[in-house]
Structure 1
Amino acid sequence: MGKPYFHALIAGLSLFTVAHTASARGIADCDKLQTSKAQVLSSTVDPLPNVDLNRVDVCADKEQAVSQAPVKATPINVVATGSASILKKAVKGELQTEGEGSLHEDLSFKYRIYRPEAPNGDTMVLLHGSGQDETSLVSFGSKIAPNAMLLAVRGRVVQDGSSRWYRRLTPVSFDQKDIRSEAKAFAEFLKQVTQQYKIDPNRTTFLGYSNGANLVNAVMMLYPDLVKQAVLLRSMPVLTGTIAANLANARVLTVSGASDQLYAPYAPALEDMLRSHGARVEARSIKSDHGLGKDDVKVVSEWLSGATAQLKKN
C-alpha cells in the first residue's frame, strides 16, 4: 500500500469520526432543549412566549436530518437558504457590527443592545418573564418595533434556579422589600444606561412580560417620571400600601389573556390602579392564555403606531 493511499484513508476516517461526533452532540443538545421546554411549560407561572420557542422546532428538523443518511452530497442553494442576501448585506456593511447583541456587564444589570439597520431614534426596553433571560423578548420586540434600538435587560434575582426581577412568596404575592429594592436599582440603571447610550426618554417604550411587566408597573408607581410609555403583557399590580404617584404623563397598554387563570383576574385592578394615578390606559383582552402569540404582536403593533407618534409630539 503506497503512502499517498494510506494518508488518504486516514484522512477519510478522521472526517467520518468528526462528522459522527458533531451529529451526536447536536442530537444531545436538542434533547436538552426538549427537556427544558417540557419543564418550563409545566409551570403555571411565566411560561416561555410562543414566539421564542423556535429553537425546539429547529432541533426536531436536525434530528430528522441526522436519522436519514444522504445518498449523495448536493450543492447548497444560497438563494434558498438566504445566505445570498446575508452576503450582500455583509458586503454593504448593513449587518450589525461585532459586539452588537453581546452581553454587557458594566452596570448593575446585565443587558444587551440591538441596533436596527434603519434606526428611527426610538428605543424599546425589554423586561422578560420568570425563568427567561434578556434575549427572550428580542424576537417579539423586533417584530413590533423594527426600527427601534432594543435594550434587553436581565433580572438579577435568582430564585429556585430562575432569573426574576424580585422575589415572590407565592405565584401572586411578593416580597415587598425586595420589589422596592430592585425597583430602585433598576431606576438607577436606567439613568446610567440612558446617559451612556444617549437614549431619548421621550422616545422610549418599556415592554414587560409577566414578572418583567410587574416590575415596570412598580417602577412607574415608585419613580413616576422615568416611564412615559409602557406595554404591560400579562401583568398584575404587585405593590401593597398607599403610594402617591402622578402618572399624568404616562401612556400604557395592558394586554391580558382571557384564558390566563393566574393573572387575568388581576388585570382590572392593574388598570384601575394606573388610571387612578392619572395614566392614560388602553386595556385589551385577547383569546390567549399566559403565553404570547401573534395576536399580541398585532395588538401591540397597532397601539404603538398611534401612541408612539403622539409621544414624539410632546
Structure 2
Amino acid sequence: MSKLFLYALVAGFSVVAAPQIASARSTAGCEKIQSGKAEVLSSTIDPQPDVDKSSDADACPEKDRTVVQQPTGAAPVKLNTTGSGTILKKAVKGDILPQSEGSLHENLAFKYRVYRPETRNGDTMVLMHGSGQDETSLVPFASKIAPNATLIAVRGRVVQDGSTRWYRRLTPVSFDQQDIRSEAKAFAGFLKQVAQEYKFDPKRTTFLGYSNGANLINAVMMLYPDLVQQAVLLRSMPVLRESTEANLANARVLTVSGASDQLYAPYASALEDLLRSHGARVEARSIKSDHGLGKDDVRVVSEWLSGGATAQLKNN
C-alpha cells in the first residue's frame, strides 16, 4: 500500500507541475519590454512590428506592454516599423495572381519584379513592402484591389538586423534622417528610369505602401513632390524631421490606419495634417484592425480606387 500511495503522489505532483512549467515558459519573456507589439486581431495579417518577433509576446500581461502617448499637433514623428511578412500572401488565398515576367530585375538601383495581368487596363501600381518583407509581399493584396493593373514590386535595399527596410533606424523610435533622404533620392531616380523603360503614365500610377514602405512614399512626396500623384498609405506616419516646401496640389492620397494599432494610430492624424498642409487631397480612414492588414483594408482601398480617384487623375 505504501508503494501505491507513493506512485499516486508522484503522478499527482506531475499533473499539477506541468501546467505551471508551461505557464512559466509562456511568460518568461514578459520582463522584456514589448515595445513594438500591438494587440493581435484574429482577422489581421502580419501584425508584428520588426522590434518584436517573439511568439511568446502575446502571453505577457497587458500592463507589461509599453504605450506611446498621443502627440500634440503635427510634430515630427519617430516610430518603429513593421516586420515579418511571411503570412501576408494569405490575404487573397485562392485568387489567381498576375504572371510575373520571371527573374528578379537587378539592372537599376532597386531590385524589382514586374507582374502583368492577362487583361490590362493601362494602370500601374508601384508596391513598397513593410520591414522584414520583400517585393512579393504586397502582390496578392494589390492583385485583389487592382486586378487589371501592371504591378511593379520593388524591394528596399537596406538590411538592418536581418530585416529588409527602406531606410535605417537608430532605435525603434528614431530614424536616420540622412539615410531617409539618401534612399528617397535614389528611389526618385529609380522611378524615372523604370517609368521610361516600361512607359507607364504617371497619371495612371498608384503608389501602394505598407508601414515602412508607405513611410518612404510620403518622404518621397515631401522631397520630390512631382513624382507621386496618387498614393495609398497603409499604417503610415511622417518620418522627416525637417519641413519642406513641397507643393502637393496634384496629389491624391488615401491613408488607412488601424484603430487598435496602439503604436501607430496616434500618429495618423499628424500624417494627414502634414499632407493636407502641403495641398494634397487626403481621404483618411480608420478601420477595426491593429498594425496588420486584412479584409477591411482590401475593401476600403478597392472602394477608393473604384470610386473615381483613379478616373479623376486620368482626366486631369
TM-score when normalising by structure 2 = 0.72
Superposition deviation, residue 161 in structure 1: 0.8
CA distance in 2, matches of 1:233, 1:125: 14
Residue matched to 1:311: 313
Moved over 6 A (4+): none
Contact 1:51 1:292 in 2 (8 A): no
2:218 alignment partner, SS class: helix
2:88 is aligned with 1:52: yes
CA distance in 1, matches of 2:89, 2:123: 27
Residue identity in the other structure for 2:315 = K
Residue identity in the other structure for 2:239 = V
Contact 2:85 2:133 in 1 (8 A): no
Contact 1:51 1:140 in 2 (8 A): no
- Unmatched tracts of structure 2, length 5 or more: 1-47, 58-79
1:124 alignment partner, SS class: strand
Equivalent residues in 2 for 1:198-213 (5 A)? 198-213=199-214
Residue matched to 1:136: 137
Residue identity in the other structure for 2:161 = D
RMSD after superposition: 2.6
Alignment size in residue pairs? 242
- Residues 272-281 or 259-268, more deviating: 259-268
CA distance in 2, matches of 1:235, 1:280: 16
2:240 is aligned with 1:230: no
CA distance in 2, matches of 1:144, 1:41: 31
Higher percent of residues as helix: 1
Contact 2:113 2:152 in 1 (8 A): yes
- Unmatched tracts of structure 1, length 5 or more: 1-35, 59-80, 87-94
Superposition deviation, residue 50 in structure 1: 8.8
Question: Residues 101-158 of structure 1: CA distance to partner in whole angstroms, max 9, x if unpaired?
Answer: 4310010100000001110000000000000000000000000000000000000000
TM-score when normalising by structure 1 = 0.72
Superposition deviation, residue 54 in structure 1: 3.4
Contact 1:236 1:269 in 2 (8 A): yes
Question: Residues 69-126 of structure 1: CA distance to partner in whole angstroms, max 9, x if unpaired?
Answer: xxxxxxxxxxxx99xxx9xxxxxxxx84xx6143100101000000011100000000
In 2 relative to 1, CA 216–187 (structure 1 residues): closer, same or farther, beyond 3 Å?
same
Contact 2:130 2:212 in 1 (8 A): yes
* Structure number with larger C-alpha Rg: 1
CA distance in 1, matches of 2:202, 2:151: 13
Superposition deviation, residue 48 in structure 1: 4.5
Superposition deviation, residue 41 in structure 1: 6.6
- Whose RCO is larger (CA < 8 A, sep 6+)? 2
